[in-house]
Amino acid sequence: MHPKETTMFRWKRLAAVAAVVALGLTGCSAASGDGGNSAGTLTIGQILQPSTFAAAQSNWANESPYMQAVYDTLLTADTKGELQPGLATKWEYNDDKTQLTLTLRDDVKFTDGTALDAEAVAKNLVRFRDGAGPNASYLVDMTDAVATDAKTVTITMKASNPALLTYLSQNAGLVEAPSAFDSADIQTVPVGSGPYTLDTAATVVGTSYVFDKNPDYWNPDNQHYDKIVMNVYADPTALLNAIKGGQVNAANTLNNNDVAQMEASGFTANPLELNWAGLTLMDRNGTVDPALANVKVRQAINYAFDKDAMLKTVESGFGTVTTQVFPERSAAYDKSLDSEYDYNPAKAKELLAEAGYANGVTIQMPSSPLLGTATFTLIQQQLADVGITVEYTEPGNNFISDILTPKYPVVYIPLQQGGDWELIQFLISPTATFNPYHTSDDTVNGYIATVQNGTEEEAAQAAKDLNKYLVDNAWFAPWYRPQSTYVTDANTTAVVQPGNAVPYLWNIKPKA
């Protein structure tokens, strides 16, 4: 994920408990709530508090509701993940997609009374790129953003970035009033143009955040409530009790083990497959463990796991078995690949023998109770059954930094399934965050170049070819896509958001 939630590498939902502990959050008792939509109030159960309200340092994922309450983004994404207008009504690239021109709305005011203009937007983009935020790298290729007139912003890039428009619908596209840039309260008092304003007097930092409807908001269709309360429940039991007690209308969940009890309390489960769980076989060059350089060893690891049993045991069956790190919605996804490594311990042993390891292999891995001790026991057992010995080291609070140092050839950590380019830059490219050994493969690099610079059809085919190559060469050992579950009460509806841990705020509505 990323130093806060997104630096701890956009796990998005990861093991939420891991994210919570890594952030140093404390459990809280269930805060009061009216349990319904009377008086126009929506009460949301959040599993993370906001790291900051400063747009340039903001996180997304589980923190997106806080940001969407008080800020607008340049673009938005609908419930199919398709890009739609936000503060920008139009956008257009030049021929090589190194220059993006945005046309802005002219009817937007910040809550300090000043008008949104192109200069404010350009300054926000530069601040995000140059800031210390966990996702500043989203705009690392941006050489400049300038206002060419009051309604037009031109973004110039060093190279095309197929994910840029998506980033502008997330935290890279948040626009803060310039009057707040030098404010001493920038971390806690947001000044945006969003549908709500933070009631700082009623807010208890770390526990409960209260937002009031912005009466001057330019898009009242996105204001479904007069007041929104976001209560933080870092502890699964506290969250379950709040749901069972009717103290929240909607909530993300910390695990799937409590979903049945939530449904029994009258809540509806809204499922989303956001991540993939399995092993990242990082040391494909054999830098630390020479055995991992042999593709047959990596393939043997894939055959060693009973994925159906892992899903049932670890996730209570909530999810879908897979061998791919790309999600179903991706152009790269190929359903036929999901049977590539059906459970076959005999085949695993055969491949190890062919690779010269008939007497077995020993692999060093990090472990963490934050990711579930039972999972690490299952990994050890299933690999031992084919002749692979796993020796664990528990790095404690250094789990993420040790993974990325790098120290270990193989790592278990649930990771995101984002858009094709985001996933490539996060997991696969030689400079990707979760490619700490910087594995570089000419075939892979060729596919990546086509995804970046090819036509839409060429990019889609290259993504599909890349996915097959990664599966065939066992860069990873995925088991399944675990289900993330967002729950809503009888008075509330929500539509989950592709690629995000929680629904976008305006897609949580009263049922009536």
Say whether both 343 and 475 belong to one domain.
yes
What total number of domains does the chain contain? 2
Residues 420-467 have pLDDT tens digits of 999 999 999 998 989 999 999 999 999 999 999 999 999 999 999 999
Domain that holds residue 359: 275-483
CATH number at residue 337: 3.10.105.10
Residue 192, domain member (yes or no): no
Q: How far apart are CA 18 and CA 180, in angstroms?
A: 33
* Residue of 441, 417, 413 whose CA lies nearest to 429: 441
210 in a structural domain:
no
Q: Is residue 421 part of a domain?
A: yes
The mean-pLDDT minimum among 25-29, 60-64, 382-386, 485-489 falls in 25-29
In degrees rounded to 5, what are phi and psi of residue 198?
A: -75, 125
Tell me whether residue 266 is in a domain. Answer: no
Read out DSSP for 22-63? HTT----PPPP--SSSGGGEEEEEESS--S-S-GGG---GGG
Is the pLDDT at 282 greater than 60? The verdict is: yes
pLDDT for the residue numbered 384: 98
The DSSP secondary-structure symbol of 159 reads S
Same domain, yes or no: 157 and 287:
no
288 and 425, same structural domain? yes
Q: Domain for residue 27, yes or no?
A: no
Q: What residues pair up with 483 in beta bridges, in sequence order?
A: 273
Examine the domain organization and report whether 282 and 409 are in the same domain. yes
* Confidence at 418, pLDDT banded by 50, 70, 90: confident
Same domain, 333 and 461: yes
pLDDT tens per residue across span 20-60: 222 222 223 333 333 333 349 999 999 999 999 999 999 99
169 and 284: one domain?
no
- CA gap 416, 338 in Å, rounded: 18
How far is the CA of 349 from the CAs of 178, 198, 345, 392, in angstroms? 62, 59, 6, 22
310 and 451, same structural domain?
A: yes
- Tell me if the bond preceding 406 is cis, omega within 30° of 0: yes
Cα distance between residue 455 and residue 463, in whole Å: 12
Q: Are residues 281 and 402 in the same domain?
A: yes
29 belongs to a structural domain:
no
To which H or E segment does residue 210 belong?
A: strand 208-213
CB within 8 Å of 456: residues ≥ 6 apart: none
Total-model pTM: 0.84
pLDDT band at 2 (very low <50, low <70, confident <90, very high): very low
User: pLDDT, tens digit, for every residue of 53-103?
Assistant: 999 999 999 999 999 999 999 999 999 999 999 999 999 999 999 999 999
Verify that 430 and 293 share a domain, yes or no: yes
Q: Does residue 169 sit in the same domain as residue 279?
A: no
Only one residue has tokens 């005999």, namely 346
Q: Is 28 contained in some domain? A: no
Q: What is the CATH number of the domain that holds 116?
A: 3.90.76.10
230 domain-assigned: no
155 and 279 part of one domain: no
pLDDT band at 14 (very low <50, low <70, confident <90, very high): very low
pLDDT (mean) for 348-369: 96
